[in-house]
Amino acid sequence: MRIVIAGTGIVGLTAGIALRTMGAEVLLCEQAPEIRAAGASIGIWENALKVFDEFGAGKEVRAIGTTLETWFFDAAGRRSRAPGFAVEDYSFELMPRPVLNEILADAAGRKNIRLNSKVIGFKEDADGVTVELADGTSERADLLIGADGVYSAVRNQLVPGFPAQKHAGHHVWRAMMPSGNEPKEGTVLTVGHKRTRGGFTHTHGGQVTWMVNQFDSPEPTGSKREEALKRAANMNDDGWGEPLLRLIESTPEDHIIHNQIMFVPTLPHWTSSRVALMGDAAHGLSPHISAGGTLGIEDVLVLVRSMQRSSSLAAALVEYEKNRKPHYQKVHELADAVERAGDAEEYALHQARFSHWMLNDGAANSRT
Ligand SMILES: Cc1cc2nc3c(=O)[nH]c(=O)nc-3n(C[C@H](O)[C@H](O)[C@H](O)COP(=O)(O)OP(=O)(O)OC[C@H]3O[C@@H](n4cnc5c(N)ncnc54)[C@H](O)[C@@H]3O)c2cc1C
């Protein structure tokens, strides 16, 4: 079987690794001139790490993780966790995104990756799919996977009328810096005033990563550093936020990433007989649950299992979609409750409800 994957983000690369272990010939088409990893660091939860284990990349990926057992702090640094949950419900491995993507690209096989290759469309017929590229060439395959992120060209053709949308007023600023004298424990996650969240934490390779998020944020008008500092001030009762403020002040403007958060509306379908969406292309989520990438990695497992079990590719894609759509309905329900949380205690409760579900019932559903 020949499979073309559009996109070499964390999900496309994972799909490349997994489908090769099934014996498929894989071509990963990436529009950028390099393997990109937008963002500083990413929290990868145990359910996704198990997927990497299953497809042989777990050891290398786990080696770059720093275990983060999150507490939820108010603006004055009073910490809480919801009673009745295990420490696993608060724990993930924090990884530097660029290093993670390089490891995954090596595991997927560099010779299977074609850079500067933008997928612009496809044509399906009874025998396969022709994938059209921006340079005028095309690739013939049995299956096209759209793992091309929130602005997915594959989704735009497969499910017209569902472009990425702005999560109104939701902005995030983040960066990674060499660690200095910041307190060892970090301040993730502080839930401050005016719907602001953020903090810093130490990570792989002597680095410290910081982020500042705000729901219902006024439109940013100043420099990235100025805007991040304005929001970080909402998490600084009694000096709790001073180390974060110092860190932001010392971060060069061009190191700071600012995003208006985007999301993908719920899609009526994710597949046709020869095309499947996965990762952010299918379900780009607001990042306040810190798990969009983790969940996308599980999409890969579900697709592979469906392909192994089904009598035909078309039947496998039906099974894949049948599993994923209700799964993400539940993700949205739990994530929306986190978004509505008014303070650190409520945030801790709803985040733990989400992660507990994801690591238990959700993971079991992805492994059936
Ligand atoms: C601020 C923030 C914090 C987050 N924190 C976490 C976290 O802690 N844990 C977690 O699990 N998730 C987190 N997420 C979510 C996570 O980053 C995404 O869910 C994940 O990166 C999606 O991976 P992907 O491979 O689906 O898409 P992407 O990473 O967007 O990759 C898509 C790739 O496709 C390429 N591409 C696009 N169009 C085309 C085309 N037409 N042809 C060819 N290539 C194309 C792009 O260049 C890119 O390389 C966070 C997100 C944000 C914004």
pLDDT in tens, 120-144: 999 999 999 999 999 999 999 999 9
Ligand 1 nearest atom to the CA of residue 36, by list position:
49
Residues in the ligand 1 pocket, defined by CB under 6 Å: 6-12, 29-32, 36, 39, 42-43, 118-119, 147-149, 153, 172, 174, 259, 279-280, 287, 290-294, 296
Looking at residues 316-342, what average pLDDT do you find? 97
CA distance 360 to 346: 21
What's the chain's average pLDDT? Answer: 96
The pLDDT tens digits for 67-112 are: 999 999 999 999 999 999 999 999 999 999 999 999 999 999 999 9
- Distance (angstroms) between ligand 1 centre and the Cα of 7 equals 9
Ligand 1 nearest atom to the CA of residue 32, by list position:
47
Report helix angle 46-54 to 292-309, nearest 10. 40
Of the candidates 213, 212, 358, the residue with the CA atom closest to the CA atom of residue 297 = 358
CA distance 191 to 199: 9
Mutate to test the pocket of ligand 1, among 4, 11, 213 (most ligand atoms within 8 A of CB): 11
| Residue 311 burial by Cβ neighbours in a 10 Å radius (0-12, 13-18, 19+) | exposed
Whose C-alpha lies nearest to ligand 1, atom 39? 148
How large is the C-alpha radius of gyration of the chain? 20
Provide the pLDDT for residue 37.
Answer: 77
Whose C-alpha lies nearest to ligand 1, atom 17? 293
Q: Which residue reads 């340079």 in tokens?
A: 135
Mutate to test the pocket of ligand 1, among 31, 117, 203, 260 (most ligand atoms within 8 A of CB): 31
Beta-carbon count within 10 A of 183 CB? 10
CA distance 17 to 13: 6
Asked whether 67 and 186 are in contact (CB, 8 A), the reply is: no
Beta-carbon count within 10 A of 276 CB? 30
Provide the pLDDT for residue 205.
Answer: 86
Report helix angle 344-357 to 313-340, nearest 10. 160
Report helix angle 10-21 to 46-54, nearest 10. 40
Confidence of residue 40 (pLDDT cuts 50, 70, 90): confident
Provide the pLDDT for residue 305.
Answer: 97
CA distance 352 to 87: 10
CA distance 247 to 220: 20
**Could you give the domains of the chain?**
2-37+97-164+264-367 (3.50.50.60), 165-262 (3.30.9.30)
Confidence of residue 230 (pLDDT cuts 50, 70, 90): very high
Kindly provide the b/e burial profile for residues 110-144, where b requires at least 16 CB atoms within 10 angstroms of the residue's own CB. eebbeeebebbebeeeeebbbbbbeeeeebebebb
Beta-carbon count within 10 A of 99 CB? 17
